[in-house]
Amino acid sequence: MTRWFAKPVALASLALTSVALASIALVGAVSALSVTQWSMLSGSSKLDFIGIQAGAAFEGGFDKFTADIRFDPKDLAASRFDVKIDMASVNSRDSERDQIIRGKDLFDVAQWPVGHYVAEKFLPTGNGRYTATGALTLLGVTRNVPIRFSFEEGKDGAWLKGEASIERLAFGIGKGEWSDTSMVGNEVKVRFALHLKP
């Protein structure tokens, strides 16, 4: 009799385990779906940078980029940023300089047309401000880059504003004469202001 009952008991235990696992997966899926999905308004959003050339600062930006933003201050664990940058859309307010930046020794946009940033770890720092650690990929090289940002909701949607700092040579941006940091600074400051709608 003991052997006869063992199989049904084992099957029942397996069934309960499957139900429990399915419930956990369902809860996780519902949690992910509950995080607000934001659409970026490209006309009022900006992705800019500040570089140093010959000892003087110059400002530039990217005219084309997309941002897939899932963010909820109450559910940071399920939040995620996914930003893609059209590297050829660089605009430093100087057409001759832009051509050089797009060239093989710097951005090499012919081979690496897209920059990509993904962040999935967020920490609150108080007063509507946060930090995130994400992976930035440029020229096929991926490095962790922390960002600092604020998130504010209002009548016209939400604003995600922040900044970061990267070292261009860590991504291989600057070959030949452009590897000389006395001509072009290694550190580049990045600023962003994303206008979002749910």
Do 162 and 192 meet the contact criterion of CB atoms below 8 Å apart? yes
Domain that holds residue 8: 1-34
User: Does residue 28 sit in the same domain as residue 82?
Assistant: no
Residues 132 and 72 in one domain: yes
Report pLDDT for 163: 98
- 30 and 42 together in one domain: no
Whole-angstrom distance, CA of residue 28 vs CA of residue 107: 39
DSSP label of 170:
G
pLDDT tens figures, 110-156: 999 999 999 999 999 999 999 999 999 999 999 999 999 999 999 88
Q: What is the CATH number of the domain that holds 51?
A: 2.40.128.110
Note the pLDDT tens digit of each residue in 50-103. Answer: 999 999 999 999 999 999 999 999 999 999 999 999 999 999 999 999 999 999
- 21-52 pLDDT tens trace: 444 443 444 444 568 999 999 999 999 999 99
- Report the domain count for the chain: 2
Q: Are residues 22 and 40 in the same domain?
A: no
